[in-house]
Structure 1
Amino acid sequence: MNFFQPAVFYTTVNHLRDLPIESAAEIAFAGRSNAGKSSAINTLANRTRLAFVSKTPGRTQHINYFSLGGQRYLVDLPGYGYAKVPGAVKDHWRELLGEYLAERAQLCGLILIMDSRHPLTELDLNMLQWFLPTGKPVHCLLTKADKLNRSDSIAVLRQVTQALAQMAPNYTVQLFSSLKKTGTEEVEKVAARWFEDAEKKLTVGG
């Protein structure tokens, strides 16, 4: 069984006051709308419809929690940057997303989804810079890597690796393909390490 396979839907949250108090550690998935976030979550969990995949960007409108067991959670955040979302909804997303990422103590790391053909957009860079003060790690998935040839994928991986290294030592990146199911083991190792580190801190703190 892979690391994310136990994932089951737990709850949907539209206000910070409703965040689960029983959570001990969380890993959040974020990304620009239509970058392949839902597909990546489904692939990692080896499920077809755990996270809803829509051809309409901006479908995820709330914070969706999936339990991994043992007070561990996978958190699916609203996609950012989709222009056709009504202004009031967009403002609510921004506030909800911003406060969650900045203030959620249980959050132990962020997995940021970027389309490998269009990485490091202005929105992605804003997210990476904005998250920096938390001191928490980010692992970027360059999705849809199957759409690039080998030389292009190597080049984009090098480009993004260099850019992240200039931002923070705990910002990392890999290639990922939901279609080919490549890169899953690397993500699992990162997530397992983050959870273990978070739980060690809780044990020491306790």
Structure 2
Amino acid sequence: MTIARPLPDYLVKRYHGWKATAYSENSAWFRKLADDGQHPRAMVISCCDSRVHVTSIFGADSGEFFIHRNIANLVPPYAPDGNQHGTSAAVEYAVTALKVPHLIVMGHSGCGGVKGCYDMCSGDAPALEEKSSFVGRWMDLLRPGFERLPEGTPEERVAILEKQAVLISLDNLMTFPFVKSAVERGTLTLHGLWNDIGGGGLDAYDPDQDRFVPL
């Protein structure tokens, strides 16, 4: 591999700082994690957005969350074909191997993927309509959410679409037989969250009210 290059100096310095402080102060815990394997308390599916920091929001320690990130925190429907499915594989491993008791889908404000979907479906992002666009074809998963948006300003509709991304993912999770079975047995609970990055808020979907409510 001749294309790989050394890490930037600032990352090397941050690593040494972590090793000398956080790791050194908790080395027994890290060794226990290594020896005992992982037993996460929840799986979290969140966006790739660098501003979404799930472990910080919940004050989680290493080993506590099994985290999968993708564009716009989407879960595709169950589709056992010959293609490669990173998100589906992560869900399968979390539910069937790790047997997590909670599976959380967390969306967020200002999601670029959701905005891209909105623009694409509105006819304002022709590049995303190209078959060669990985982002566009991934965001096709969110088209049903766009189609049921109410009237309003573009800003209002995009904000609603961000939460639709969470709800569509929750619906799609229930198309996986092993997820549906675990939910029906009561060994797995699904949760939908939306994070207001700027305001620090966290809304949870309440199925009884059919809306997101602040925690």
Q: TM-score range by the shorter chain?
A: 0.3 to 0.5
Higher relative contact order (CA 8 A, sep 6+): 1
Larger Rg: 2
TM-score normalised per structure 1: 0.40
Larger relative strand fraction = 1
